[in-house]
Amino acid sequence: MFMIIKEYYNKINNYLVAHKLKVIIICTVGFLLLTSFLAYRLYIYDEVSTYYDSGQYSEDDIDKVIEMYEDADRFYGFKDMSVYVKLYGDKIVEKYCEKEEFEKARFFAGDNRHLNKKALLSKIDTLEAENKKKKEEEYFNSLEGRTERLRKYEKRNGIGGSNDSFDVINTVFDNLFTYDNKLDECLPTWNKNSVYKNMLRQYINDVCGPGDYYYIKLGTINKSKQTINAYKYKNYLEKEYNIDVNVDDIIIYEFTYVSDKTTILFDNQINHSAWNTPLNIVLFKRSDMWFFGGIIEHSFDYSDATASNNLSNYIYPGDNSYIGLIDEEQ
């Protein structure tokens, strides 16, 4: 055995002596290549770690994030590259899910040996479910979604309304503070709720004064010379209530609404205090039925295009937090 080792040693030694220059060149090149590789590996690590820590991946295209992931995966065993492989893997899955490319996310999660496939697939399922729920909520509250729900509700429960616009005035203002359910006959579907009715009552209390009872002053009901374009009112409903319904006609009525309060004086005499308040109300017609459409709070020039395009500034009740309630919301 010793002789065999000695024989190989002599052969190697003779080769090195005979090819000294060649050996020096090979060793030098090998050293340079190894040094370059080590430097390159360190450069890749710095690039991967710096890019992730910078947070720029949140703005860049997914291809850049994938490139960083592949570089980290290529040097998996170097330093803490394994940590960056996982971090970039998570970001890639998130980016695919942000773009709603859930199948690409699943393929990526299952096609990479250094990632926790089970954990990533569970994360993808969660993100997909959240995305679906978000879209359902967006549609639920969108113009299309609310209008679809309105039509379904009215198909089941009817549209309501009155054949005579004049009757709407009496139905609403004779029952505003007494028979709550009677109001529903002439309120549009999206306003058949206690929130709207209480807003309306509060407005009457504010402008007409609190009273023991209210009544319309006979002989004061007249059609106003002021008008609102039906198309403009349709746009108002879209903007204010986020619903799309046809509006066939508009009538504005003016009348005097009386708030009567009874006070018992110290000598048991009864004193009646009455406040006479002029009101202008909007009635609109859809599907051949008339509905209460609000109270004109501030008069304005109806020929002014700017004003007529912003009816929500002039028609009460109005509340930024209130956009009407439909079906299951009631």
User: What pLDDT sits at residue 303?
Assistant: 65
Tokens of 16: 């090195």
Return contacts of 126-135, CB within 8 angstroms, 24+ apart: 127/93, 127/94, 127/97, 127/102, 128/97, 128/102, 131/97, 131/100
Distance CA 326, CA 330 (A): 6
Tell the residue number behind the tokens 């139905």, with chain if given: 171
pLDDT for the residue numbered 257? 93
Question: What pLDDT score does 264 carry?
Answer: 59
Mean pLDDT of the residues in the chain? 85
Asked if the model's pLDDT at residue 96 lies above 70, the reply is yes
Backbone angles phi, psi at 41, to 5 degrees: -60, -40
Instruction: Tell which phi-psi region holds residue 325, choosing left (phi > 0), alpha (psi between -120 and 50) or beta.
Output: beta
Summarize the confidence of residues 61-78 as an average pLDDT.
91
Q: How confident is the model at residue 54 (pLDDT cuts 50, 70, 90)?
A: confident
- Tell which wins on pLDDT, 46 or 30: 46
What is the reported pLDDT for 269? 62
- pLDDT tops 80 at residue 241: yes
pLDDT value for 261: 80
pTM score: 0.74
Mean pLDDT within 208-231: 87
Q: Is the pLDDT of residue 3 over 70?
A: no
* DSSP state, residue 222: E
Helix (H, G, I), strand (E, B) or coil at 57: helix
Does pLDDT of 126 surpass 90? yes
How far, CA to CA in Å, does 275 sit from each of 204, 220, 272? 11, 15, 10
Q: Is 5 exposed, middle or buried (0-12, 13-18, 19+ CB in 10 A)?
A: exposed
